[in-house]
Amino acid sequence: MQIPKEAKRQARELFESSLDDSGRPDNGKVLSIADLVVKASPRHAVQTLREFGRLIRLETAKHHAVIESATPLDADTRDSILKSLQVRDGGVVTIELKVSPSLIGGARIRLGSEVWDASVFSRLNALNF
């Protein structure tokens, strides 16, 4: 189902007004804006809110890292990775740690749409021409 251009435009405007000074979504503003749209019930409100939610999810994902490792990471390693990601991203990064024994060794880090894979599993797969 295609979203009307008017709904996309409105969602983009709402998204831009929900950002804080650092250019990231402010949770309080996001909730207030969504509440106002529901109460006002403008034309294409459902499509506008869907698109607004999609834009918020995409922006939030840019600053959320998923770190997978074969074994649990010690605190020093975790802090070192977090500091590197924050320097690279230029701000606050949230992290989610996962243990995936299938990686065999090493780690895989996903920040937004970028992936850094230094796992033994990926290196072994690369050998299988």
Cβ atoms of 28 and 72 closer than 8 Å: no
The tens digit of pLDDT for each residue in 42-85 reads 989 999 999 999 999 999 999 999 999 999 999 999 999 999 99
List residues bridging with 107 in a β-sheet.
Answer: 69
pLDDT, tens digit, 9 for 90 and up, residues 14-42: 999 999 988 889 999 999 999 999 999 99
* Paired strand residues for 99: 69
Retrieve residue 119's tokens. 């796992």
Contacts of 87 (CB under 8 A, 6+ apart): none
pLDDT given for residue 129 in this prediction: 57
